[in-house]
Structure 1
Amino acid sequence: MARATRPQGEVTRGTTNPNRLRRADRWTAATQGRLLRAAPRPLAVDLGYGATPITTIELYTRLRAVAPAVEVVGIEIEPDRVAAGRAVQARYPGLSFRRGGFELPVDRPPTLVRAFNVLRQYDEDAAWRAWDDLTARLDPSGVLIEGTCDEVGRRAVWVTLDRTGPRTITFAAHLPSLDRPSDLAPRLPKTLIHRNVEGEAVHTLLADFDRAWAIAAPQSVFGARARWTTAVEHLAATHPICATPPHGGRGRWRLGELTLPWSAVAPTR
């Protein structure tokens, strides 16, 4: 009898809460729905979903709303977490749970992989290797969305990658509780979090965004959304790397999002 292969990766803390990943899910459904609908057999993987399957179920619900044919697989290293998912999967056709890790034990290359709060415990080099490993397993048109958020999902940063590497970075926040954009720095992906220092692009971007936020302070009388939108517009007009407007337009900016090309934060390696 063949010996079972140990899943690749380490067990995460498992912290999760309902709606913790709502901001990323909302963005994913809006920006990747067309990709999922175009795939002949769309498959989405939620890698390292944590102690309970709730955020995988939420991802399934939100993706199915824009791509009804998508199948979703939750993958975890810890057997008890997999068992918790399997206990409820029968209620959701097209949803399943499996034990595994970065090797992605699925029957075909996924169209989309989400890995949130998974790489925080790894060092920077290991995080880069994980990006390479995961993107190599994607469908040729697929994407990896890797990021971090706080415990209740009010602040999040994620990177979208394809087989060629990172393409965009998204900053997302609950605006009424945000003091300044650089408060999102602790949520930077592991490939960037130690690069938030003088001389690195991500540090320059956050400093410029803080200045734009300060300039936009008079807009606070119209609410936090108006201030954020004005700050994004000022950043786009003044930041040296923002040669084109941030992705998504005002409709997405008003949701407390800012999506930029990866080149705006790419580190010196």
Structure 2
Amino acid sequence: MPEARARPRRAEGQVTRGTTAPNRLRRIDRWIVGTRSGLLRGGPPPLVVDLGFGASPVTTVELFGRLRAVRADVSVVGLEIDPERVAAARPHLRPGLDFAHGGFELPVARPPVLVRALNVLRQYDEAAAYAGWAALRARLAPGGLLVEGTCDETGRRAVWAAVAPDGPVSITFAAHLGSFTRPSALAERLPKTLIHRNVPGEPVHAFLREWDAAWDRAAGYAAFGKRQRWVRAAAGLRGRWPLLDGPSRWRLGELTVPWRTLAPVGRARG
């Protein structure tokens, strides 16, 4: 049974540039499968939405395959505001994978347990990005999650927020360690809700400065590879900042902190 509804009168949102590439979102998908697979287990067959899949549906197809490895009856719907992109995705249809015209209104048959929205809100201003969060989280299934953020063109640097129905929960930083330089280089991939807050006086700025300092203190571990240096730098932050993950995720080039820790001054909730 199709999970997408009939085309709405007007999709909510703006058309993105549509840039995408195979495996661009692999780090985000790995984190979803590795830390949020509970969203897919138990209960009726889950529905997942990939919002704004772009000019090619390749990353939606990849998401579908990765989630099917966790739950064989998961359904994925890729949504796009541009009808031509939806038409171009049609050859990739298969049982459990659908594509439809739509935006923030999420024209799907039932509330999704997960919405992935990468590189969608980057063109919005901060207020509009928060409005996008509010619109999407209001349409999640109870206990569901919005994963929203940005990555570079190859997916080697990414930062994303996990947003629950009652507000943002965490921020995750991820990098390809072979090409990594220093933590503050990830600032250009902050979600739109934070990217303009990387200035003195804001928590995210202080965090990145301290992470850089921890990275510098861990320079001696570079002889054992950047992975060991990343792990040591992350460990050096513990006690100074609350971290939500540990060495098993750090070794993958990830670091997750509570949203409230980096939230803009005066805005603990989204």
Q: Does 1:234 align with 2:231?
A: no
Secondary structure of the structure 2 residue equivalent to 1:73: strand
* Counterpart position of 2:57: 53
CA contact (8 A) 1:37 1:69 kept: no
Q: How does 1:1-269 map to 2 (within 5 A)?
A: 5-90=9-94, 93-237=95-239, 239=240, 241-242=241-242, 246-268=243-265, 269=267
Query: What is the rounded CA distance, in whole Å, between the counterparts of 2:249 and 2:128 in structure 1?
Result: 32
Contact (CA 8 Å) 2:8, 2:107: kept in 1 or not? no
SS of the equivalent of 1:75 reads: strand
1:86, distance to aligned residue in structure 2 (A): 1.4
Q: Is the 8 A contact 1:71 1:95 kept in 2?
A: yes
How many angstroms does 1:6 deviate by? 1.0
C-alpha distance after superposition, 1:85-144 (max 9, x if no partner): 112213xx2000000000000010000000000001100000000000100000011000
Return the TM-score normalized by structure 1: 0.95
Partner Cα separation in structure 1 for residue 245 and residue 99 of structure 2: 33
Taking the aligned partners of 1:39 and 1:148, their CA distance within structure 2 comes to: 31
Aligned residue-pair number: 261
Q: Distance in 2 between matches of 1:264 and 1:207?
A: 14
- Kindly indicate whether the alpha-carbon contact (under 8 Å) linking 2:61 and 2:92 is maintained by their aligned counterparts in 1: no
Return the letter of the residue paired with 1:267. P
Secondary structure of 1:171's counterpart equals: strand
Q: Could you tell me the percent identity over the aligned residues?
A: 61
- Give me the CA root mean square deviation: 1.3
Question: How far apart are residue 53 of structure 1 and its match?
Answer: 0.3
Please give the secondary structure, in 2, of the residue aligned with 1:107: coil
Encode CA deviations 1:165-217: one digit per residue, 9 max, x unaligned: 00010000011211100100000000000000000000000000000000001
Matches of 1:162 and 1:39, distance apart in 2? 19
Unaligned runs of 5+ residues in structure 1 are: none
Tell me, yes or no, if the aligned pair for 1:82 and 1:99 is still in contact at 8 Å.
Answer: yes
How far the C-alpha of 1:16 sits from its partner, in A, is: 0.1
Answer whether contact 1:172 1:256 (CA < 8 A) is retained: yes
Counterpart Cα distance in 2 of 1:67 and 1:182: 36
5+ long unaligned stretches in structure 2: 1-6
Change (3 A) 1:218 1:4: closer
Shift of 1:248: 3.0
Q: Secondary structure at the match of 1:67?
A: coil
Runs in 1 of length 4+ with deviation above 3 angstroms?
none
In the aligned structure 1, how far is the partner of 2:194 from the partner of 2:71?
A: 32
Secondary structure of residue in 2 paired with 1:98: strand
- Kept in 2, the 8 Å contact 1:44–1:71? The answer is yes
Please tell me the residue identity of whatever aligns with 2:216. A
TM-score when normalising by structure 2: 0.94
